[in-house]
Amino acid sequence: MIPVSEPLLGDRELESVAACIKTGWISSSGPLIEEFEQKWSRYCGRQYGVSVCNGTAALQAAVVALHLAEGDEVILPTFTIISCALAVLYAGGTPVLVDVDPRTWTMDVAQVADKITPQTKAIMVVHIYGHPVDLDPLVALAERHGLAIIEDAAEAHGAEYLSGRNTAAPQWRRCGSFGALSCFSFYANKLITTGEGGMVVTNDRQLAESLRSLRNLCFQPDRRFSHAELGFNFRLTNMQAALGVAQFERMDQIVARKRWIGQEYTKRLQGIAGIQLPVEESWARSVYWMYGVVLSEDMGMDAAEFAKKMTDHGIETRPFFLGMHEQPVFQRRGLFSGERYPVAERLARQGLYLPSGLALTEEQLGYVVNTVRELANQ
């Protein structure tokens, strides 16, 4: 079975983790945590990095750090992982949804302005499958209304956005460099991994201090087992950071490899009737975290049936996200009642992603392409 994703680990990662075991630095204290935070935040163009135990924890800590009041609203795309909405709900806020762009599958920026109310406090920008959101309009909108931007860049390590493209001085900036707070996941299927793990990066020293306190149960600095606020146990371990530091050494090569996989898929899959391929807009440099395809309804099968056929050929796939407005847990709670988002609904039923991991070989990629072509032409 060709896996949908497989991490690429080598001797350097093994040496780095083994050194932690030999020295005893295996828990959430150790020098490699700060080193990883510094290297990743600088790579993203940020001053501060606060590591946490996973990407969901990064989102949750970021939302809590903004001190939402009960009922404060955060606008986010319906087409995303549930962690985004959960972070808002756990903080006492209200998630407000928008649909996504049918080309990039990222949030439809044109819909955001109409969802702003006096209760809106933030916009959660979610880069999807390695392609950036069109950020400039959202940054300008947030500034006009005094809103914070939380950037979910879990799927966009190293992706870049051309900011100020309509000005005399456009600039390529990495995803993770926008807004008040940017969140990352380092799960095993991400471009670099710590097994599980995450990070929040920011340029705001006060927010960084708040995040460091939140991840460590809000221990008061003058008396360890005294707590003035409620926090979380979201700490990353030194062993996980060791893996991240070793992986980071190959960051440029990893991004280049992922872009090659995405571009090679596009080159070989072009021209197959009934299959929509991912785009790369002129203002974006995608990292193709996962290479997604969307089946036309005219093919006579949905993504679930197509995935079963791929499995029969020894190829693992994954379905696209089910929109937040269609999640049973939220429907039972009366959230998003009567709301419809047709683009996200079509993607959920007709979209899936192909094997895209760093360990994917060219031979495997070719087999996947030939299988997709064969099934599409049946």
> CATH no. for residue 220?
3.40.640.10
Domain end among 248, 263, 295? 248
| Residue 61, in any domain of the structure | yes
Shared domain check, 135 and 59: yes
The tokens describing 272, both together, are 């197959």
Looking at 206, 230, 248, the residue that finishes a domain is: 248
227 and 286 in a single domain? The answer is no
Which of 248, 272, 302 marks a domain boundary? Answer: 248
Tell whether 117 and 155 lie within a shared domain.
yes
Give the pLDDT score at 359.
96
Q: Let me know if residue 301 belongs to a domain.
A: yes
Cα 121 to chain centroid, rounded: 21
Collect all residues with Cβ–Cβ distance below 8 Å to 96 and sequence separation of at least 6. 73, 74, 75, 76, 115, 117, 120
| 2 within some domain | no
| Residue 154 falls inside a structural domain | yes
What distance separates the 2 farthest-apart alpha carbons in the chain? 70
Domain identity same for 127 and 17: yes
Shared domain check, 279 and 234: no
CA geometry: angle 274, 281, 284, nearest 5 deg: 135
Q: Which pTM was predicted?
A: 0.96
Residue 290: per-residue pLDDT: 98
Do 235 and 99 share a structural domain?
Answer: yes
Q: Is residue 134 part of a domain?
A: yes
Q: Is 231 in the same domain as 112?
A: yes
Q: What is the CATH number for 346? A: 3.90.1150.10
Both tokens assigned to 256: 């280049």
Residues 26 and 173 grouped into a single domain: yes
Which residues, 6 or more positions from 58, have their beta carbon under 8 angstroms from its beta carbon? 52, 154, 183, 184, 185, 198, 199, 200
* Residue 234 and residue 278 in one domain: no
- Whether 307 is covered by a domain: the verdict is yes
pLDDT at 181: 98
Specify if 1 maps to a domain: no
pLDDT tens track of the chain, all 378 residues?
Answer: 999 999 999 999 999 999 999 999 999 999 999 999 999 999 999 999 999 999 999 999 999 999 999 999 999 999 999 999 999 999 999 999 999 999 999 999 999 999 999 999 999 999 999 999 999 999 999 999 999 999 999 999 999 999 999 899 999 999 999 999 999 999 999 999 999 999 999 999 999 999 999 999 999 888 889 999 999 999 999 999 999 999 999 999 999 999 999 999 999 999 999 999 999 999 999 999 999 999 999 988 999 999 999 999 999 999 999 999 999 999 999 999 999 999 999 999 999 999 999 999 999 999 999 999 999 988
Does 170 lie in the same domain as 136?
A: yes
Residue 341 CA to residue 255 CA, distance in Å, equals 32
Sign of the dihedral through C-alpha 154, 160, 162, 163: positive
Burial of 273: CB neighbours in 10 Å, binned 0-12, 13-18, 19+: exposed
DSSP assignment of 208-265? HHHHHHHHBTTEETTEEEEESS---B-PPPHHHHHHHHHHHTTHHHHHHHHHHHHHHH
- Does any domain span residue 77? yes
Q: How many domains does the chain have?
A: 2
Query: What is the C-alpha separation between 261 and 37, in angstroms, rounded?
Result: 28
**Domain region containing 276:** 251-376
Q: Which two tokens stand for residue 102?
A: 């049918």
Residues 139 and 53 both lie in one domain: yes
Q: Are 125 and 149 in contact (CB under 8 A)?
A: yes
- Based on the fold, state whether residues 142 and 169 are members of the same structural domain: yes
- The per-residue pLDDT for 221 is 86
